[in-house]
Structure 1
Amino acid sequence: MKSAFDVKSSRLETLAICLHTADLTELEETLRQRTEQYRDLEIMPFVLDVEDFAQPDDLDIPAVVSLCARYGIQILGLRHSSETWAEAASRCHLVFSSGDKPAEAAALPKPVQEPQPVSATVISNPTVLISTPVRTGQQVYAENGDLIVTGIVSQGAELIADGNIHIYAPMRGRALAGAKGDTNARIFIHSMQAELVSVAGIYRNFEDDLPGHLHKKPVQVSLQDNRLVISAIGDE
């Protein structure tokens, strides 16, 4: 008789909230200000990075976790270089990690709107090349580098990179560059038909067709004065 389940090794990639204050009022104010920007993080598991704090008593961990949850950010783990935080994590029913601290937290815009299985590929190389189509429900994340895609990106697929994203094919899904906050990151698209584009957490949905000079045309997406700009390749 086949067992009801098997236990196998797996790697779960998470994002990190790097906490810099124990002031719950200040934290809530920041969350409130960025509710729209961070609304799409609800599907992502998060680790609370508390490296800025010396002792667990310096921080009301349950209150922080609860506050984040109210704004759709689900904290599953606690990270600190000192093992003294392991017991605090256990009391709060959180996974503890003493791994290296990431450069900064990342924000990812909206997931696929309709419920469906999602397969995620996370790659940690300076430059990642994907030469196959990225299908609906698939997610590719180029960690700490650029992402180059030469296959078609279907509606409902998601491309994420900490650096730039280059798409040399029709782009009908979502592209999120500068995922760890790099405001200099850019997105280059050979045929612009995207559902959403984002740079450093600032994003734009496309519910209506783009102007004719951009729709299905080569475009670049960048930030200028904290504003998302989409322009035809070759434009000033």
Structure 2
Amino acid sequence: MRPVSRSGPSIRFRGRSFVAMTLVADASLQLWLEDFDVWLQRSPGFFTGRTVVLDMAGNAANKAEVERWIAELAARGVRLVGLEGVRPSMVDASMPPILNGGRDVSLAGPVTSVGKAPPAPEEPRKPAEPVNMIVESRVRSGQSIMCLEGDVTIIGSVASGAEIIAGGSIHVYGTLSGRAIAGATFGTKAQIFCSRMEAELIAVDGAYKTAEDLDGALRGQAVRVWIENDALRLAAL
């Protein structure tokens, strides 16, 4: 049988970008896991099916330490797709790859060397068009709404067991009974607003409170949630 000749390549390559949640290992493993376990107990299944990256924040001393972090997270059902903040010598083929080029929230200013002319100022960049998601229906239990590029507005209620994650702020024009996590991209600039507070969990820039932590006087009220002096604040509207 004569071989069949093909014209053109048989393998196609495409570049794609994906959004991942990043866990920042900015404390010792034992202390970090104590807080992480509390989070998992109060919000079970939060990381199920999520794309997660571990940022060692330059704190890893050796490969064995990186392996311990990976193993502890795997034991808790967190599967990593990549690592940041580690040296190439700390990673082998059995571990998640090192990722580069992630978008930073803020950038450091340029450094000018002595005796050299300062670089020409860059032209100001046009602000990026915000991507704000509007959901014009009730968010049912088990649903997960995510928009890491901007705000999320829910014109309706968020049921118990539902989840809203926003890079910016979250606005709920109804009862918030599920989980609301704001500031995933824009940090402390984000806030949460709801017409009726009954949340299982609320968080802004990583600071969070669960239903057990909420002031009973705020239940059933219109509430604003924000960060002030590195602490999560709540007030009636």
TM-score by length of 2: 0.62
Shift of 1:229: 2.0
Cα 1:211–1:18 change in 2 (3 A) is closer
Among 91, 95, 98, the alignment partner of 2:94 is: 91
> Is residue 148–residue 185 contact of structure 2 (8 Å, CA) maintained in 1?
no
Cα 1:73–1:52 change in 2 (3 A) is farther
Letter in 2 for 1:28: L
Matched, 1:225 2:223: no
Among 165, 172, 181, the alignment partner of 2:177 is: 172
Q: Give 1:31's aligned residue.
A: 32
Shift of 1:136: 0.2
Cα 1:100–1:133 change in 2 (3 A) is farther
Among 186, 208, 217, the alignment partner of 1:203 is: 208
Partner of 1:90, secondary structure, is coil
Shift of 1:194: 1.9
Letter in 2 for 1:172: S
> Is residue 177–residue 187 contact of structure 1 (8 Å, CA) maintained in 2?
yes
Higher relative contact order (CA 8 A, sep 6+): 1
Question: Highest Rg: 1 or 2?
Answer: 2
Instruction: Give the Cα separation in 2 of the matches to 1:230 and 1:51.
Output: 30
Q: Which segments of 5 or more consecutive residues in structure 1 lack a partner in the other structure?
A: 1-10, 21-25, 105-123
Shift of 1:159: 0.7
Instruction: Give the Cα separation in 1 of the matches to 2:230 and 2:37.
Output: 15
Let me know the Cα RMSD of the aligned residues.
Answer: 4.0
Letter in 2 for 1:195: E
Letter in 2 for 1:189: C
> Is residue 29–residue 69 contact of structure 2 (8 Å, CA) maintained in 1?
no
Letter in 2 for 1:103: D
Among 144, 169, 175, the alignment partner of 1:139 is: 144
Cα 1:202–1:48 change in 2 (3 A) is closer
The size of the alignment, in residue pairs, is 193
| Identity across matched positions, percent | 25
> Is residue 147–residue 166 contact of structure 1 (8 Å, CA) maintained in 2?
yes
Q: Give 1:128's aligned residue.
A: 133
Q: Give 1:103's aligned residue.
A: 104
> Is residue 181–residue 201 contact of structure 1 (8 Å, CA) maintained in 2?
no
Q: Give 1:185's aligned residue.
A: 190
- CA displacement 1:17-55 (0-9 Å, x = unmatched): 3568xxxxx6415514633565355534422357969xx
Matched, 1:215 2:219: yes
Instruction: Give the Cα separation in 2 of the matches to 1:33 and 1:183.
Output: 24
